[in-house]
């Protein structure tokens, strides 16, 4: 388990590096096609640095805001606080901030940059539909994301994917409204290398959001299996999480405040699940989570 956590930390570094690199390439392509020159490069560098630092410190706030999460009242949600405190004592984790999302769909997610600056959000539907054992299992899963250092890269992904998609979309709209003349000059006709770089930049800006989303999917899937396993290790009761996942599988309510940017944070796919019924494995290629049946089978084999 500790080897998996160490591997997660290494993968987190490489994934963050990958997102920063992709954001830098998108910015460089943006500068090349708009012919910003040295000033443009400096602006791009500042955008990458500022957005990366801002993402590191504020991406958890963005995820909570997008999900319309509000701080959980300790008296109104005493059961939630008691379960989290007990699990934190057992795991040695500092107690995360707790949030409530007013939504009938049962779901939950964790966010933050490290265990000392973490938060767990649960829906009112989860609190209503799970018994104490099942709720404890779900919370153990989310605390495992914190203990396994999944939360940093999963939360950073929210803002990184959004930034890459925003830059690409802005440029493509600019090119459309300028009639494709932006960045072109007579010199390009006599300089094949410049033309090649411009074509590469244009293609990169088109496909960058897709690349970013694929990286987002890579972040989530394997980490869910590890969080399931370490969550069960924390509660020492696999049937609790198995029962919770079965309830989640049978419930087809979508989260109203969920979005593609935050989908990978939740314990299971939060978007329209009715439309995903009957899909083949090819249809699940771009799912943010492994199928619940596979996760249940993995837990049953423990």
- Is 102 a catalytic site residue? no
Q: Is residue 269 a contact partner of residue 288, using CB atoms and an 8 Å limit?
A: yes
The single residue of 142, 224, 268, 269 carrying the catalytic annotation is 142
Give the whole-angstrom CA distance, residue 29 versus residue 121.
Answer: 38
* 108-112 sheet: strands from edge to edge: 70-71, 97-101, 118-123, 108-112
Q: Is residue 113 a contact partner of residue 155, using CB atoms and an 8 Å limit?
A: yes
Give the whole-angstrom CA distance, residue 173 versus residue 247.
Answer: 44
Q: Is residue 223 a contact partner of residue 285, using CB atoms and an 8 Å limit?
A: no
Give the whole-angstrom CA distance, residue 115 versus residue 143.
Answer: 9
Give the whole-angstrom CA distance, residue 282 versus residue 72.
Answer: 39
Give the whole-angstrom CA distance, residue 135 versus residue 82.
Answer: 11
Give the whole-angstrom CA distance, residue 101 versus residue 2.
Answer: 32
Name the residues annotated as catalytic: 142
């Amino acid at each position: 388990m500790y080897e998996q956590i160490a591997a997660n930390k290494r993968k987190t570094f490489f994934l963050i590096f990958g997102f920063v690199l992709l954001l830098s390439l998108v910015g460089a392509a943006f500068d090349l096609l708009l012919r910003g020159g040295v000033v443009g490069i400096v602006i791009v560098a500042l955008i990458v640095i500022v957005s990366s630092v801002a993402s590191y410190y504020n991406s958890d706030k963005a995820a909570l805001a997008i999900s319309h999460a509000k701080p959980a009242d300790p008296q109104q949600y005493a059961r939630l606080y008691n379960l989290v405190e007990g699990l934190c004592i057992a795991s040695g984790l500092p107690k995360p901030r707790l949030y409530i999302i007013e939504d009938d769909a049962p779901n939950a997610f964790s966010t933050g940059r490290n265990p000392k600056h973490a938060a767990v959000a649960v829906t009112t539907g989860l609190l209503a539909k799970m018994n104490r054992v099942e709720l404890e299992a779900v919370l153990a899963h989310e605390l495992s994301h914190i203990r396994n250092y999944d939360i940093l890269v999963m939360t950073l992904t929210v803002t990184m994917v959004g930034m890459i998609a925003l830059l690409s979309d802005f440029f493509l709209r600019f090119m459309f409204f300028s009639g494709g003349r932006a960045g072109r000059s007579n010199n390009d006709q006599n300089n094949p290398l410049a033309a090649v770089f411009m074509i590469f930049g244009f293609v990169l800006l088109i496909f960058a959001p897709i690349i970013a989303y694929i990286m987002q999917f890579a972040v989530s899937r394997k980490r869910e299996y590890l969080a399931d396993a370490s969550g069960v290790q924390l509660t020492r009761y696999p049937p609790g999480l198995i029962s919770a996942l079965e309830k989640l599988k049978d419930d087809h309510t979508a989260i109203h405040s969920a979005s593609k940017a935050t989908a990978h944070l939740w314990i299971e796919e939060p978007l329209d699940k009715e439309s995903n019924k009957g899909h083949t494995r090819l249809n699940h290629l771009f799912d943010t989570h492994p199928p619940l049946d596979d996760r249940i089978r993995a837990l049953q084999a423990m």
